[in-house]
Structure 1
Amino acid sequence: MAAGLITVGLTAHVLDDGRLAAFGLERNAVAALVGGLLPEKSGGARARWDAPSTSPPAGAVAPVPVHVEGGRPHHVVLWLAESTAARFVSLTGGDARITPVLESLREHTLTFTEYRANSPVSAKAIFSVLCGLYPLPGARFETRAVPRIACPSLPETLTAAGYDAALFHGGYFAFTDKLALLSERGFQVLLDGESAPDRERWFTNGWGIDDAAIVEHGLSWLSQREDPTRPSLAVYLPLLPHYEYFLPPGVATPFGTGSLLARYQNGIHYTDELFGRVVDGYRVRGLLDDTLFVFLGDHGEAFDEHPRNQLHAAFLYEENVRTPLVFYSPRLFPRPVVSARPGSHPDVLPTILALIGVNAPAGLQGQSLVDERFVPRPVPLGTWYPDALLGMVEGDWKYLRSPRTGAEQLFHLGRDAGERQNVARVFPDVADALRARTLDWADRQRALLMAYPVRGDGYLERAHAALRTGSPGVDVALASARVFNMERRCLRVRTPPAGAPLVLEGTLAPPPRTVGVGLTDQARFAKGRPVTARFEVAGGEPIALTVDDRFESTSRVRALAGTTAPAARVRIEITSADVKGRDACLWLFP
């Protein structure tokens, strides 16, 4: 999921000033597209961002054949792959050795090659995919800004149509407060790395547990439902390949472990393998032909394709936002179909409904990518970490803007897929038109979501009451259904002599509910193996932790919530010959 707890200290947004060569575009017929991008003149009003282009690129409107004569599937599997960039998936141009399972399914797939995440952040992807709405353009997570938005969500739409629904997450719902959005949306089961009853069986890397666990639980749920003949929706939110891409022991590492990129490729290989286990699970249950499988990435992942561009959230280049969208169904796709229709996360919900024959509810912003009435629309983009960026993809043109500085970039992806030549000053009319659309989207989307109707089911009130009263199950409420934000407190330390431990001491007032001990990125990149930490609260028993540089959770740590002292004196001792970092952090619950 989104690495919101991770800080890449060297990352900063620098958009160049556009004084680069136009590589012949000024003499090319591509300039004819400009007219279709210019804002409409209507009493000085700004053009709507989603107005269709008058000159869509070739392939953007070609029909998508779907074979429905044999009936529509009655089961849906949605695999929202973590940090999975399109360029690493064989069906969207990647190496078949990385995704051999998807490659083996190719003959019965529908693949969209012009698909993007609107924001390179997992929490926003979950919101958009399940709600069919574009995310907020700024820094606020929808799980905190509009957690009870009355969106026409996928699980609610399908349960109203007679489906069973469940969601399985390899990470922790507590991170970015996912349950504030997901609870009471029609899912009969919501299971994560914390609430899995057998979590002690599974490898944990700090962000969550082995995704093999959620596959096992998901297939068990499918078989053990009260009425296994009912149609079903199973949503999987796997954890891997999440940075730093460490895998469970025994998992194949065909690309070695000598670099972050190699470990990342191993991680995609593993999520591909697990997706295959789900497909096989439906096959052995006789449900393969009656199931629509959806594989997509929540966002991309960067490996210095552009200066300072690492991980995913810092920029809006293609490596950050280009993801696979693949539908697999032997019934619907007797032969492979590849479409260049442009799409993004809000389009997934209506496309699924169209493919299984369920009417789409009102209020969706996305459109079905298989509809014969499909109209190519721009794809809006936004991120904020460490600085805000907005963008828009319209046909072959891609526009990026820094709201803070006003710096902007314009690329023609058809001629410059690597986004190397900024032609904003060569084609000022295109830049002006896309700037207008980009700003219009940001203004409208912020206003729309903040004014959207809110559910009146009282979930937040009940969760807060459970936290205040310490009612039965409060640990579950705090760990898995928490509505408060996680807090990070970092203490500076000096680099110790070789072999000596890092020691941090301080007073925390009021004493927090402590989740674990982490290290900042400088130490993450410097160390070569997990480190150990000794955590002490004055008057309490010391707790030994293994710090895998993300997020460590144990029941003994959570037991600290019972303290009543006004302040707690804390001492943390971190030992590893490999650590060269100068900070250590506490992940805290208030």
Structure 2
Amino acid sequence: MKAASVLVVLLLARVGALYGHRLDWSWWTPIAYLWHDAAVAAAFGLCDRMLVRRPRAMWAIYAVAVAYVAINVPVTRVLSTPMTWPMWQAARGPLVDSIRHYATLSNIAWMMAVVAAGAAAPTVFRGTPASALIASLLLIAAAGPIASAHVATRGLERNAWTALALTAAPRVAPAPVDRNWRAPRGQRRASDDLAWLRGAAAGRHLVLVSLESTAAQYLGIYGMNPDVTPNVSALARDGVVFENAYAVYPESIKGLLSVLCSTYPALGTRAEIYAGAPCESLASALREHGYRTALFHSGRFGYLGMDAVVGNRGFQLLADAGDIGGRRESSFGVDEESTVARILEWIDRVPPDARCFVTYLPIAGHHPYEVPRSAEGLRSAESLALQKSGSASLSGARSASLSGERSRFTTEFDRYLNALRYGDSALGALMAGIRDRGLYDRTAWIVFGDHGEAFGQHEGNYGHTFQVYEENVHVPLIVAVPGRVARRQRSDRVVSSIDIAPTLLDIAGIAAPNSYQGTSAIDDNRRMATFFADYSLRLLGLRDGAMKYIRELDSGRSQLFDLRADPGETRNVADRYPDDVRWYAQKLNEWMK
């Protein structure tokens, strides 16, 4: 009886999860999507038999099972995945505003419907023959792996309980590899010359800015129209724009480890384990050469173990939202104006004959894309540009909603663009403050995106942590040395966030530590960029020239895209290039053993 009741609850949750998704239909499709539900219902039926003499305990277990399934329905509807173990680790106080944002009537109604089904099902199915049902469910579960080999379910076959169980155990760590393993399959020499950058920032102040949740495709210097980040564009005129830069990991904290330590984080691990990990950090290297070092974060170091990544890494000052204070606070942090003001105060205390290294980690751009009320509307010039264009020119994303002379963003993508504009205004304030102090031409900048942000460009792809498509991992990277270049230079080299620390040291004229796993982007040799995701599915990927390869570890499925012909990653050409697929798969196996 309880097996049938659990099955009904899971099937209703399945309807809610799959509603609106495009499914690959074949004779295998029903089994491929339902075998996890069958396995859980069968296990519950067997457990019911074992606890037949303890009915109260079984009813308690049943209530918990139904409640947990109900909680996961809105999560799956929004993120296309049930809660996984890493997601539960991330669901802390700073995400309260994001969670509240999705407490909609529709999502609450789905939760209540699942709870109601769970309450009514035991009465409806009283007396159902358990043995025959359990046997049938076990047959479906046994056929599930075979069906999954024929249908690409993208992880949607998992239910609340199997998603949690499958992600709870430690998984795969990157293997120690030689630096040359990133050598590409094709052309190995860079076609452009960036040698002028080597040592170009020697003796200058250094500023490292990590743009929160910023994919390259949303910035004007990468083709976005209108340009909601004019200050980034202005800064780029004084240096090099890397057109093919990739985040190692589509999440801020472990991604920051790759930047500060030039070290790959491990797949399936928490950031807290890196507190004692060996790391000759960027800040430590600069401090050894006389730089004053500080890191300012508009968010909170307690989020996802960030303190383990930034602590004891050579920064003489670490300041987060709690230290900075601010005119506006959210669950995630404080306003950017307050952080910029604190940065400039610290710069004012640096002795005139000293050099400083500032790391600025804003939060503008993070979901739910909230900004201070004074920054909710577009500037008039941007509003006019939007009205002339009619919409934000982004394929697959929601267009901007315009009303009158003052535009208020109303959809998620609209609000996201406004958050990027707000973050860019904070960068502009920092640039202006440094210019007002007569330091602009004595400062070098590296500005990059910590990861991207997805708005449905690919099926079920929202947010940033779950996939490794371009909108998730292709990020902006600008190296600016004002006064050293007459006009903006663009480079088509493939670079990685793991290369940022050695690149910054290279332009400062400082040798990078031998422990770095990345290499300077200025080097003449071409390289591949590698990246991975593990919040839901275990995905590995790489970019090699024009080719982008993605491998799903659990299913073994491969995707190969020619980004020159297909920048939107809509045509999987893996079947046309089997030799390339085998070579790329072997490279990723060398990385994750």
TM-score (norm 1): 0.65
Aligned to 1:251: 375
1:429 counterpart residue number: 579
CA RMSD, aligned part only?
2.7
Change (3 A) 1:15 1:103: farther
Structure-2 change in CA distance of 1:229 and 1:17 (3 Å): farther
1:414/1:55 Cα in 2 relative to 1: closer, same or farther (>3 Å)?
A: same
Confirm whether residue 329 of structure 1 aligns to residue 481 of structure 2. yes
Larger radius of gyration: 2
State the one-letter code of the partner of 2:335: D
Q: Does 1:93 align with 2:240?
A: no
Give 1:217's aligned residue.
342
Q: Would the aligned equivalents of 2:217 and 2:224 in 1 still touch at CA under 8 Å? A: yes
Deviations 1:246-295 (A, max 9, x none): 10121142252210101100111111111111111111111111101111
SS at match of 2:237: helix
- Label 1:17 to 1:294 Cα distance change in 2 as closer, same or farther (>3 A): farther
1:326 and 1:8 map into 2 onto residues whose CA distance is 35
Q: Look up the SS of the partner of 1:425 in the other structure.
A: helix
* Equivalent AA in structure 2 for residue 406 of structure 1: G
The size of the alignment, in residue pairs, is 404
Given candidates 229, 237, 245, the residue that maps to 1:107 is 237
Q: Percent identity?
A: 31
For 2:73 and 2:361, how far apart are their aligned partners in 1? 19
Gaps of at least 5 residues in structure 1 are: 20-45, 444-590
Q: 1:396 to 1:277 in 2, by over 3 A?
A: same
Question: 2:277 aligned to 149, 158, 161, which one?
Answer: 149
CA–CA separation in structure 1 for the residues paired with 2:313 and 2:491: 32
Match of 1:122 in 2: 252
State whether structure 2 residue 530 is matched by structure 1 residue 400: no
Query: Is the 1:72–1:332 Cα contact (8 Å) retained in structure 2?
Result: no
Matching residue's letter, 1:304:
G
Shift of 1:297: 0.3
Instruction: Indicate the residue corresponding to 2:211 in structure 1.
Output: 81
**Which among 256, 269, 283 is matched to residue 140 of structure 1?**
269
The answer for the alignment partner of 2:313 in structure 1 is 185
How far did 1:354 drift?
1.1
Secondary structure, in 3 states, of the residue corresponding to 2:569?
Answer: coil
In 2, the alpha carbon distance for the partners of 1:310 and 1:8 equals 12
Say yes or no: does 1:53 pair with 2:184.
Answer: yes
Q: Does residue 446 of structure 2 align to residue 315 of structure 1?
A: no
CA deviations over 1:450-484 (Å, ceiling 9, x no partner): xxxxxxxxxxxxxxxxxxxxxxxxxxxxxxxxxxx
Contact 1:397/1:413 (<8 A) preserved: yes
CA distance in 2 between partners of 1:52 and 1:395 (Å): 11
Provide Cα deviations, 1:488-510, integer angstroms capped at 9, x if missing partner.
Answer: xxxxxxxxxxxxxxxxxxxxxxx
Q: Which amino acid aligns with 2:187?
A: P
Could you tell me which residue of structure 1 aligns to residue 361 of structure 2?
A: 237
Distance 2:409 2:565 in 1: 35
Give the AA of the match of 1:89: L
Tell me the amino acid that sits aligned with residue 286 of structure 2. Answer: L
Report deviation, 1:105: 3.1
Deviations 1:402-457 (A, max 9, x none): 111112211111111111111222221111111111121112xxxxxxxxxxxxxx
* 5+ long unaligned stretches in structure 2: 1-71, 82-146, 153-176, 379-406
Counterpart CA distance in 2 for 1:278 and 1:115 is 24
Q: Which residue is equivalent to 2:167?
A: none
Query: Pairwise mapping of residues 550-565 of structure 1 onto structure 2 (< 5 A)?
Result: none
Q: Which amino acid aligns with 1:50?
A: W
Contact 2:494/2:526 (CA < 8 Å) preserved in 1? yes
Partner of 1:419: 569
- The answer to which structure has the higher strand fraction is 1
Aligned-partner residue type, residue 219 of structure 1: L
Q: 1:381 aligns with which of 531, 553, 559?
A: 531
* Residue 332 of structure 2 corresponds to residue 204 of structure 1: no
Tell me, yes or no, if the aligned pair for 1:61 and 1:375 is still in contact at 8 Å: no
Relative to its length, the structure with more helix (as a share) is 2
Which residue matches 1:163?
A: 291
Cα deviation 1:109-140 (Å, max 9, x = unaligned): 2110010111111012210111112222x121
Matched, 1:173 2:301: yes
Separation in 2 of the partners of 1:428 and 1:152? 40
SS at match of 1:235: strand
Q: Secondary structure at the match of 1:208?
A: coil
